């Protein structure tokens, strides 16, 4: 008889540092490959990527027997979208563009493939403890209210998104601007002070090393597009220079 899967990401959150990757290319084959390389988690993005329902389900399926745990980012904090993702089998959700505690409360209130097609007894009572809710902070308004957002009952972690935060601070496309980095550091200090696990994504290698050394709980160190393009450019440059 099927059972509700233990959410390993939620179990380990705040107990050990976890490194991850963003999946943006809607490719189950790539997701499967990256999931076998030693990443702790892979986020299947639907906000800024062409991942459609079939792509999400296929990627969740290929990750079921692998060590990397899936996170899914809905396109928006929308009850219908969230219910569909939960039905697909997602257990950990990262909600974009949460501006205040009220937005965070809507995200928490949001929960069939996940129920093993009706074969799991007492499914709803069991699944609740395995759902992990991550709130994404992306603006100066949200950053100013970070403690109240993080304190909403049911919020398991807070993720700071540097790109949109930089834009909201007037530094579009420049996440490494000193003012942006200072604001991010302050956000992480405040989350640590209240004991809330924190997450982050950067495609900057030096910053990735710094954030890992800083002890951020779960760090996205690249996305699939970045890894592929960097590798391709490096190979092309090496061959052309030979």
32 neighbors 66 (Cβ within 8 angstroms): yes
What are phi and psi for residue 174, nearest 5 degrees? -125, 75
157 neighbors 219 (Cβ within 8 angstroms): no
- Catalytic choice (2, 3, 6, 48): 48
Concerning whether 171 is annotated as a catalytic residue, the answer is: no
Angle between helix axes 53-63 and 79-88 (nearest 10 degrees) is 40
Count of C-beta atoms within a 10 Å radius of residue 148: 12
Q: Comparing C-alpha atoms, which of 103, 108, 93 is closest to residue 138?
A: 103
Question: How far separated are the first and last CA of the chain, in Å rounded?
Answer: 59
Catalytic residues: 48
């Amino acid at each position: 008889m099927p059972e509700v899967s233990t959410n390993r990401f939620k179990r380990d959150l705040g107990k050990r540092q976890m490194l991850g990757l963003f999946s943006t290319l809607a490719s189950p084959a790539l997701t499967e490959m990256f999931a076998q390389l030693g990443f702790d988690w892979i986020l299947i993005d639907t906000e800024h990527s062409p991942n459609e329902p079939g792509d999400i389900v296929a990627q969740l399926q290929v990750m079921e027997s692998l060590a990397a745990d899936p996170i899914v980012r809905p396109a928006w904090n929308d009850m219908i979208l969230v219910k569909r993702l939960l039905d697909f089998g997602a257990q950990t959700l990262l909600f974009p563009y949460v501006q205040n505690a009220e937005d965070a409360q809507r995200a928490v209130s949001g929960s069939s493939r996940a129920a093993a097609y009706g074969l799991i007894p007492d499914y709803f009572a069991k699944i609740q403890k395995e759902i992990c809710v991550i709130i994404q902070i992306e603006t100066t308004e949200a950053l100013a209210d970070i403690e109240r957002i993080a304190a909403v009952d049911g919020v398991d972690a807070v993720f700071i998104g540097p790109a949109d935060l930089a834009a909201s601070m007037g530094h579009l496309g420049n996440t490494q601007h000193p003012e942006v980095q200072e604001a991010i550091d302050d956000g992480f200090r405040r989350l640590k002070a209240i004991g809330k696990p924190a997450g982050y994504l950067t495609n900057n290698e030096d910053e990735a090393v710094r954030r890992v050394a800083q002890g951020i709980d779960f760090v996205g160190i690249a996305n699939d597009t970045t890894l592929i393009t960097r590798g391709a450019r490096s190979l092309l440059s090496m061959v052309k220079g030979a």
